[in-house]
């Protein structure tokens, strides 16, 4: 399909990650890891900083991939993704764990696997193969559907992962013109313990970029759907090989909608 | 592909936010009230590199407003930043005065001051842009007056010649190749009062692109060939002063922009001239041939609907579809096609459904589907052959960069294929 997208749009991929409303998307909701902020002042980025930030997504493409840990608070639930992403080929595979804490049920955790491409999501569904076989249909362990960020915070995060790479540098001029700011240096804890980073804010997305190597170590984005902040940590950068579920083990979600809802408990 | 949270994004300071300018200029014998110079500088008074200064930047830093910096043949591995008004940076020989970024430096020449002229030299292998003119680099200023003339730009990481938040400009006799974005880009200006003429862009992602650029913007008598897209005019919320409106694309040769051997910026390829979400543009007397997708297309972009665009008297042929109008609802919105020479369109008989009168019924077309050609590393594209020299570079005095070329659009003729 021929798609006539602006070259300039592609050139400002970082800016695509969230709306720019002039609001503050700061670290108050960064709950998954602690970060030692050595400086809290927000300043306009310099030309040199813009050049560094412009390199981040294309550097991801060049590096090939990384391990991923993402956390999104969602009402009384928190879902966490752990897995890998292949930036070069726009593939990912993660385990999604949902933890719900209520007064009645102190803690309940469910988990399932997801594989994804730039526009397709494969969800592993426990019990699906048996349920299909029980109705004389071809067994399959995965449902396949279109990636649609308008439907769930899960897909929003998958889209963030997909757009954390680019074949082209960002445009430093636009990064500056559109008000990208520098939030100071930060030493990461948690997944990337001890890594020295520089933190930038572009719209409602923050980027923690390695001070010494220019790599993207953390990204956070405010999500309208959940009124919360998704935090994604990238580690062990390097090429990844990710296999999607075999076609024979997948079924379109439309064909098993009722089963899917029942098995997911939705 | 874009993240959902951007679907309805805007910027508080975007839209119809008025452009700020540098204020009125008071002319005088030598300098204006704001420190600019209107007096031509003779070659005899030039600051010479490397004769007087070891580097171009040293000469620039020592120059008074209006100075001429004359560069001898050689390769200069530097990034030059200009913040003094009305400087002219000229190479003695277009093909042998070379600024080489070594795929390390950001921009070849970046001008933030009014009235900068860059002429008769070559700029390549910068990670950002070959030549950048920008008023807005951390503030909302609009650069007033610029000229790039007889400049060869190739294999830079973004644009060849890039004018952003700049007005009263002249871009002519540019040769640009091997850019993973546009050979020539004009963005975020209204009015632009800028002419792009007699230029060639080939083997780029886009030949010419204008984003939110209009008002006295004329792209004419140029050749845009073998890029992924030839000419693209677009409205976008990613830059200010949207929507794009009021530009002229006249008498260009737009040929075979199918992407083979050209670097990739987006999925777009196989299109000659695209107007995406623009308003009141005139696409006239262009020769548009040999595209696997479409010759000329008027379509929407993000939330912007195209309106009042006129596609007149173009000559099209051997395109997948010659003329296309494609929006969600097909409303005419004043867009019209008239007097074109074409063989195919979508919707069919496009000049009957989009005549330039109130009887337009509208309709929406569909696009052919074709697999995009593979990406090409822009750094691997072959250097261009020698290009034409600026006339009398060794003796011509400077001409202050104050305004675009004065063009009689009715007399312009598209170049013949080379």
| Interval A185-222: pLDDT, tens | 999 999 999 999 999 999 889 999 999 999 999 999 99
d(CA B390, CA A186): 51
Asked if the model's pLDDT at residue A32 lies above 50, the reply is no
CA–CA gap between residue B397 and residue B44 (Å, rounded): 9
Given phi > 0 = left and psi -120 to 50 = alpha, else beta, which region is A133?
alpha
Residues 108-147 of A with CB under 8 A from B: 118-119
Q: Is B268 on the interface with A (CB under 8 A)?
A: yes
Going A29 to A31 to A32 to A38, the CA torsion angle's sign is positive
Contact status, residue B404 vs residue B194, Cβ threshold 8 Å: yes
pLDDT tens-digit profile, chain B (418 residues): 222 222 222 233 333 333 333 333 333 334 555 678 888 999 999 999 999 999 999 999 999 999 999 999 999 999 999 999 999 999 999 999 999 999 999 999 999 999 999 999 999 999 999 999 998 666 778 999 999 999 999 999 999 999 999 999 999 999 999 999 999 999 999 999 999 999 999 999 999 999 999 999 999 999 999 999 999 999 999 899 999 999 999 999 999 999 999 998 877 899 999 999 999 999 999 999 999 999 999 999 988 999 999 999 999 999 999 999 999 999 999 999 999 999 999 999 999 999 998 888 889 998 877 788 999 999 999 999 999 999 999 999 999 898 999 999 999 999 987 6
Predicted local confidence at residue A109, as pLDDT: 76
Residue B163 resides in a domain: yes
Residue B9 lies in a domain: no
What is the predicted pLDDT for the residue at A210?
A: 97
* CA atoms of B122 and B96, how far apart (whole Å): 7
Residues 142-201 of B with CB under 8 A from A: 157-158, 162, 164-165, 180-182, 185, 187-188
Say how far apart CA B256 and CA B417 lie, in whole Å.
11
pLDDT-derived band of residue A19, with 50, 70 and 90 as boundaries? very low
Domain of B310 in residue numbering reads as: 43-65+132-380+399-406
Q: Which of B3, B11, B369, B370 to mutate to test the interface with A (most CBs of A within 10 A)?
A: B3
Contacts with A178 from chain B: Cβ below 8 Å = 11, 238
Which region, left, alpha or beta, applies to residue B377 given φ > 0 means left and ψ of -120 to 50 means alpha?
beta
Contact B137 A176 (CB under 8 A): yes
DSSP summary character for residue B304: B
Nearest-by-CA chain B residue for A46? B138
Interacting residues of B111 by C-beta distance below 8 A, sequence separation 6+? B82, B118, B131, B132, B133, B134, B143, B146
Tokens of A239: 């090429």
Chain B residue numbers touching A155 (CB-CB < 8 A): 4
- A84 pLDDT exceeds 70? yes
Answer yes or no: is B281 within a domain: yes
Give A6's contacts in chain B (Cβ within 8 Å): 209, 211, 232, 234, 236, 238, 266, 276, 301
> Which of helix, strand or coil describes residue B184?
strand
Q: Is A53 on the interface with B (CB under 8 A)?
A: no
Residue B194 covered by a domain: yes
Please report whether residue B110 resides in a domain: no
Count CB-CB contacts under 10 A for residue A110: 14
Enumerate the β-bridge partners of residue A143: A123, A251
Q: Answer whether B266 sits within 8 Å of A119, measured CB to CB.
A: no
Q: What stretch of H or E contains B82?
A: strand B80-82
- pLDDT computed for residue A35 by the predictor: 54
What element of type H or E holds A218? strand A216-223
Of the partner residues A4, A17, A173, the one whose CB lies closest to the CB of residue B299: A4
Tell which A residues from 207 to 226 touch B, by Cβ distance under 8 Å.
221-225
Of A4, A22, A179, the CB nearest to B276: A4
* B366/A contact by beta carbon, under 8 A: no
Token representation of residue B334:
């004043």
Model confidence at A148: pLDDT above 80: yes
Least confident of A99-103, A129-133, A242-246: A99-103
Which one of A151, A153, A171, A203 makes the best mutation probe of the B interface by having the most chain B beta carbons within 10 Å?
A171
Torsion angle, alpha carbons of B379, B381, B382, B386, to 10:
-90
**Hey, are the CB atoms on B232 and A6 less than 8 Å from each other?**
yes
Whether residue B162 lies inside any domain: the answer is yes
Mean per-residue pLDDT over chain A, rounded:
83
Handedness of CA B171, B172, B178, B182 (dihedral sign): positive
Please, which residues have CB within 8 angstroms of residue A136's CB and are 6 or more apart in sequence?
none
For residue A247, give both structure tokens.
Answer: 């076609």
Phi, psi of A212 (to 5 degrees): -95, -30
Token code pair at residue A145: 């559907």
Strand partners, A73: A78
Asked if the Cβ–Cβ distance from A15 to B238 is below 8 Å, we say: yes
Residue-level pLDDT at A40: 60
The answer, yes or no, to whether residue A123 has pLDDT greater than 80, is: yes
Total CB pairs under 8 A between chain A and B: 161
Q: What is the pLDDT of residue A151?
A: 82
Prediction pTM value = 0.85
CA distance A89 to A99: 31
Structure tokens at B354: 């989009």
B 122-141 → A contacts, CB under 8 A: 127-128, 132, 134, 136-138
Secondary structure of residue B56 in the 3-state scheme: helix
Interface check B321 vs A, CB under 8 A: no
Structure ipTM = 0.84
Q: Which residue of A has its CA nearest to B300?
A: A4
For residues B371 and B11, the answer to whether their CB atoms sit within 8 Å is: no
Contact B179, B149 (CB under 8 A): no
| Among chain A residues, CA nearest to B5 | A18
The pLDDT assigned to B89 comes to 98
* Location of structure tokens 């449902």: A143
A16 sits in which H/E element: helix A13-16
Which helix (H) or strand (E) covers residue A162, if one does? helix A153-162
Residue found by looking up tokens 């572009």 in the block? A202
**What is the domain count for chain B?**
1
Q: How far apart are CA B322 and CA B319, in angstroms?
A: 5
* Burial of residue A255 (number of CB atoms within 10 Å: 0-12, 13-18, 19+): middle
Q: What is the pLDDT of residue B2?
A: 25
Tens digit of each residue's pLDDT (9 = 90 or more) over B302-328: 889 999 999 999 999 999 999 999 999
Contact map slice: B 272-291 vs A, CB within 8 A: 274, 276
Nearest chain A alpha carbon to B186? A8
The CA distance from A93 to B30, in Å, is 67
**DSSP characters over B240-268:** SSPSPB-EEEES-EEE----TT---SSS-
* CB atoms B127 and A1 under 8 Å: no
B375: closest chain A residue by CA:
A167
The answer, for B293 touching chain A at a CB cutoff of 8 Å, is: yes
8 Å CB contact of A51 and B229: no
By Cβ distance, the residue of A2, A6, A156 closest to B3 is: A156
pLDDT for the residue A214 = 96
Radius of gyration of chain B (CA): 21
Tokens of B418: 């080379």
Does a structural domain hold residue B335? yes
Q: Is A156 exposed, middle or buried (0-12, 13-18, 19+ CB in 10 A)?
A: buried
Q: Are strands B116-124 and B97-100 parallel, antiparallel or unpaired?
A: parallel
Q: Quick one: how many helices (H) and strands (E) in chain B? A: 2, 30
pLDDT at A75: 80
Token pair, residue B251, equals 């008498």
What is d(CA A59, CA A51) in angstroms, rounded to the nearest whole number?
A: 12
Q: pLDDT value at position A226?
A: 74
Alpha-carbon distance of A6 to B205, in angstroms, equals: 10
Chain A residues whose CB is inside 8 A of the B4 CB are 149-150, 155-156, 159, 225
**B98: in domain:** no
């Amino acid at each position: 399909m021929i798609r006539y997208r602006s070259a300039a749009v592609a050139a400002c991929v970082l800016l695509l990650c969230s709306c720019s409303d002039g609001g503050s998307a700061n670290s108050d909701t960064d709950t998954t890891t602690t970060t030692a902020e050595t400086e809290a002042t927000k300043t306009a980025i310099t030309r040199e900083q813009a050049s560094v930030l412009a390199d981040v997504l294309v550097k991801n493409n060049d590096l090939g991939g990384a391990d991923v840990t993402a956390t999104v608070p969602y009402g009384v639930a928190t879902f966490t993704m752990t897995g890998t992403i292949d930036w070069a080929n726009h593939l990912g595979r993660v385990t999604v764990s949902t933890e719900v804490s209520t007064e009645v049920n102190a803690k309940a955790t469910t988990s399932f696997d997801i594989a994804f491409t730039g526009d397709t999501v494969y969800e592993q569904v426990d019990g699906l193969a048996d349920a299909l076989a029980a109705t004389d249909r071809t067994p399959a362990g995965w449902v396949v559907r279109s990636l649609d960020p308008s439907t769930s915070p899960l897909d929003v995060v998958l889209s963030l992962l997909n757009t954390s790479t680019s074949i082209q540098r960002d445009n430093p001029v636009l990064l500056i013109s559109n008000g990208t700011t520098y939030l100071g240096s930060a030493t990461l804890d948690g997944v990337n313990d001890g890594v020295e980073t520089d933190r930038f804010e572009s719209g409602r997305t923050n980027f923690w970029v390695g001070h010494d190597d220019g790599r993207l170590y953390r990204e956070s984005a405010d999500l309208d759907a959940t009124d919360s902040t998704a935090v994604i940590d990238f580690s062990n950068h390097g090429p990844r090989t990710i296999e999607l579920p075999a076609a024979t083990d997948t079924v379109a979600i439309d064909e098993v909608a009722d089963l899917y809802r029942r098995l997911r408990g939705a | 592909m874009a993240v959902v949270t951007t679907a309805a994004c805007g910027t508080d300071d975007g839209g119809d936010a008025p452009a700020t300018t540098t204020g009125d200029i008071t002319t005088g014998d030598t300098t204006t009230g704001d420190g600019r110079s209107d007096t031509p500088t003779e070659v005899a008074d030039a600051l010479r590199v490397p004769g007087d200064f070891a580097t171009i930047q040293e000469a620039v830093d020592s120059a008074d407003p209006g100075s001429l910096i004359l560069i001898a043949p050689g390769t200069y591995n530097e990034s030059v930043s200009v913040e003094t008004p009305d400087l002219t940076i000229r190479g003695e020989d277009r093909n042998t005065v070379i600024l080489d970024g070594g795929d390390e430096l950001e921009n070849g020449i970046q001008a933030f001051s009014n009235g900068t002229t860059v002429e008769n030299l070559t700029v390549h292998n910068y990670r950002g842009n070959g030549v950048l003119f920008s008023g807005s680099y951390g503030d909302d200023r609009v650069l007033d007056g610029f000229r790039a003339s007889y400049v060869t730009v190739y294999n830079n990481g973004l644009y060849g010649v890039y004018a952003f938040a700049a007005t009263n400009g002249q871009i002519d006799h540019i040769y640009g190749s091997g850019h993973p974005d546009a050979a020539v880009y004009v963005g975020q200006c209204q009015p632009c009062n800028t002419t792009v003429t007699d230029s060639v862009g080939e083997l780029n992602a886009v030949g010419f692109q204008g984003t939110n650029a209009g008002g006295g913007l004329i792209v004419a008598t140029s050749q845009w060939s073998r890029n992924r897209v030839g000419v693209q005019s677009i409205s976008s919320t990613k830059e200010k002063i949207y929507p794009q409106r009021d530009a002229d694309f006249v008498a260009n040769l737009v040929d075979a922009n199918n992407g083979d051997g050209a670097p990739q910026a987006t999925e777009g390829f196989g299109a000659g001239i695209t107007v995406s979400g623009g308003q009141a543009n005139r696409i006239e007397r262009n020769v548009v041939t040999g595209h696997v997708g479409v010759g000329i297309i008027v379509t929407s972009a993000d939330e912007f609907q195209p309106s009042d665009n006129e596609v007149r008297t173009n000559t099209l042929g051997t395109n997948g579809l010659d003329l296309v109008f494609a929006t969600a609802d097909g409303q005419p919105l004043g867009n019209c096609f008239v007097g074109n020479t074409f063989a195919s369109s979508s919707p069919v008989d496009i000049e009957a459904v989009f005549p330039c009168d109130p009887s337009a019924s509208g309709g929406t077309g569909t696009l052919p589907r074709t697999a995009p050609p593979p990406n090409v590393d822009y750094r691997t594209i072959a250097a261009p052959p020698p290009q034409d020299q600026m006339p009398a570079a060794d003796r011509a005095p400077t001409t202050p960069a104050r305004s675009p070329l004065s063009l009689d659009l009715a007399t312009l003729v598209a170049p013949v294929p080379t």
